[in-house]
A and B are shown apart, each in its own frame.
Chain A
Amino acid sequence: MTPVLDLQAVEKRFGAVTALSEVDLTIDRGEFFALLGPSGSGKTTMLRVIAGLERPDRGRVLVEGREVTALPPYLRNIGMVFQDFLLFPHKTVGENIVFPLRMQRRSRAEQQEQLAWVSRLVRLQGLEERYPHQLSGGQKQRVALARGLVSRPTLLLLDEPLANLDRELRREMEVEIRRYQRELGIPFVYVTHNQEEALTIADRMAVMYRGRIEQVGDKLDLYMRPETRFVAGFLGHPNRFSARVLEIADGRMLLDWNGVRLRQERRFETRAGETVELFLKSERIRLCRRPDEAAALPNRVPGRLQDAIFKGVFADCFVTLNNGAELVVAATPDAAGIPRESPVTLAWDIADAHAFPVEQEGGGS
């Protein structure tokens, strides 16, 4: 089956800046796809290339198997929801929403029919006669979504659509947007720099960094099995530390971390004496009050609890280890009751931390 969207070795430069470099990506029918990355990683440029607002310097863009690389945006039938909504200020809500249909010269009756349908979908009934400046932020967001969906485009692009909304509204809209996607079956490409949002809303995702796709796949895979150092250090805000390789055997490494021995999976070429960097998500660490609780786990490090902050579902514990390092642990909420300065042991399995070769600053992935 041909994918809805197929990017092949797409490259885009702005002067000396490489915004996209050799990007390959396919998006399938009915998929909710998130593009995640820090600002300046090239994700907005990628959306603009897909929409036809930027012409790539190299590579090809295919929509439903048809090459559209050189096609202007108005011939692509791709919907888009912009970060600042970008509603047309001189048009009413209704006029804004039917704009794509008018441009496609659909009949007046059909315009009204689709307007009624999409207003019901995004719950905007009764606001059709208002002007954008008379709407709240959430209502503007719904109008922007309705305008993006009304012509049932091949693909809907969403560029940080919730960035300008407050937290409560964002939660609500995340659920709403997911609902629209399910009901319509149109593939959504959702750009965000907010990893919680990407993890909540999408099925599959790509992490971008410096104009490249670092890793693409099922969101759980990216979270649990990062393949690059950047993804490992980005998703889940993990603890990060360096250790020296002592021995290598049976696909495992024995590491020395400031005098503490650690056992770790070996997934890349390395030799004894080299330094590796480890990323360890705080929720993968077990916090034990008695050392024997951790006996089953290969990595055990003693330390002292500095502080525990109750967060409801869990508690953030700050532990100073006996080797001088400090780790953050997401423990069960009752950990908030442990007295400060209590001795504790932190433990984790060999696959819980992700190790990568140490890189020189400024190097690529």
Chain B
Amino acid sequence: MGDGRRTSFFLQALLLAFLYLFLYFPIFYIAFLSFVENTTWPFPPLYTLEWYSRLAIMSDFHEGLFNSLLIGLGTGALAALFATAGAMALLRYPVRRKALVALLYLGPLFVAEVLIGISTLMFNRNVLGLPGNLFSAILSNTTHALAFAFLVVLSQLVRYDWRMDDAAMVFGARPLRCFFEVTLPSIWPAVLGAFLVSFLLAFNNFEISFYNLGAVPTLPTIAWGTLRHGIEPELYALATLVNLAVFVALLLLYLLIRTGLVRIGLPED
């Protein structure tokens, strides 16, 4: 009996280990590769920091990083704003055919990113007369990220008690004041979540940004560009740095939650 239980525990642990390996091996392998000289067959590895120093002096990467950050921040802010406004309207006010309205928000989820890229480019250029630039790239990425952001906000906001806003208004708060004094302090984790998701989607996006920007570099388009003349090890260094930033952000969030500085979700009262 005890043996059987131990075996089952062992199997479960093995399964879990395999799962994590599956999830993280490619990421760690790239991190490992970014520190070796003999990248094609790194056994035994010859350690070096050359790729990082080369990355540091490539001005393309700096420009790409800057552009990607800009697209990420812009998209994150816009998508979080629109998603919050949309979810609030849907939940707070009597809306007819709520499910349909919500579903229509999610449309871009099911459209291939390439198509969003091409169609937003066509629309921006032919209909609006906008040139392809960072601004149109932010707008187009927002089209895409909004659906995800909306889902994130909606899933949290269904638990918010809107009578709290009624109370604030009865006690003299105008709508904007009410939002910042009462609603936002309760729902900000949802808004932050929507921002982070949209930021990462736009930061890492290739197709939409590429069609809207053309020759203007972002990190993903640079990565793709270098790919055409063979994978260069600088890419490993780049990928490792980006992944590191994401992990540090996640770790920070985890620590904040553990120490109780940040509460995900709404308070019980």
User: Which residue numbers of A lie inside 8 Å of B, CB to CB?
Assistant: 48, 51-53, 72-74, 76-80, 82, 84, 86-90, 99-100, 103-104, 132-133, 147, 151
Question: Does the CB pair B171–A82 fall under 8 Å?
Answer: no
User: Which residue numbers of B lie inside 8 Å of A, CB to CB?
Assistant: 161, 163-164, 166-174, 177, 181-182, 185-186, 267-269
| 25 A–B contacts from the bound complex (CB under 8 Å) | A51-B170, A52-B169, A53-B166, A53-B170, A74-B170, A74-B173, A77-B172, A78-B170, A79-B170, A84-B163, A86-B161, A86-B163, A86-B164, A87-B269, A88-B164, A88-B185, A89-B269, A90-B185, A90-B267, A99-B168, A103-B171, A103-B177, A132-B269, A133-B269, A147-B171
Further 6 A-B residue pairs, CB within 8 A, beyond A51-B170, A73-B169, A74-B169? A78-B170, A84-B163, A90-B185, A99-B181, A103-B172, A132-B269
Count of CB-CB pairs between chains A and B under 8 Å:
69
Q: Residue of A at shortest CB range from B169?
A: A73
> How many angstroms from the CA of A72 to the CA of B182 in the assembled complex?
18
> How many angstroms from the CA of A233 to the CA of B185 in the assembled complex?
48
Q: Which of B170, B172, B174, B267 contacts A89 (CB 8 A)?
A: B267
Question: Does the CB pair A100–B172 fall under 8 Å?
Answer: yes
Given the interface contacts A133-B267, A133-B268, does A82 sit within 8 Å of B163 by beta carbon? yes
> How many angstroms from the CA of A70 to the CA of B181 in the assembled complex?
24
User: Which residues of chain A have C-beta atoms less than 8 A from B185's C-beta?
Assistant: 88-90
> How many angstroms from the CA of A31 to the CA of B163 in the assembled complex?
27
User: Which residues of chain A have C-beta atoms less than 8 A from B268's C-beta?
Assistant: 133
Question: Does the CB pair B173–A103 fall under 8 Å?
Answer: yes
Question: Does the CB pair A74–B186 fall under 8 Å?
Answer: no
Question: Does the CB pair B167–A86 fall under 8 Å?
Answer: yes
The 7 lowest CB-CB distance pairs between A and B, nearest first, are A103-B172, A90-B185, A100-B171, A86-B167, A73-B169, A89-B267, A133-B269
Q: Residue of B at shortest CB range from A105?
A: B172
> How many angstroms from the CA of A90 to the CA of B168 in the assembled complex?
13
Question: Does the CB pair B163–A88 fall under 8 Å?
Answer: no
Which of B168, B171, B269 has the most chain A CB atoms closer than 10 A to its own CB?
B171
Question: Does the CB pair B163–A74 fall under 8 Å?
Answer: no
User: Which residues of chain A have C-beta atoms less than 8 A from B173's C-beta?
Assistant: 74, 99, 103
Given the interface contacts A86-B164, A89-B186, A133-B267, does A72 sit within 8 Å of B172 by beta carbon? no
Question: Does the CB pair A88–B170 fall under 8 Å?
Answer: no
Report the minimum CB–CB distance from A105 to chain B (whole Å): 9
> How many angstroms from the CA of A103 to the CA of B175 in the assembled complex?
12
Question: Does the CB pair A52–B170 fall under 8 Å?
Answer: yes
Q: Residue of B at shortest CB range from A15?
A: B94
Report the minimum CB–CB distance from B69 to chain A (whole Å): 31
Question: Does the CB pair A74–B172 fall under 8 Å?
Answer: yes
Question: Does the CB pair A104–B172 fall under 8 Å?
Answer: yes
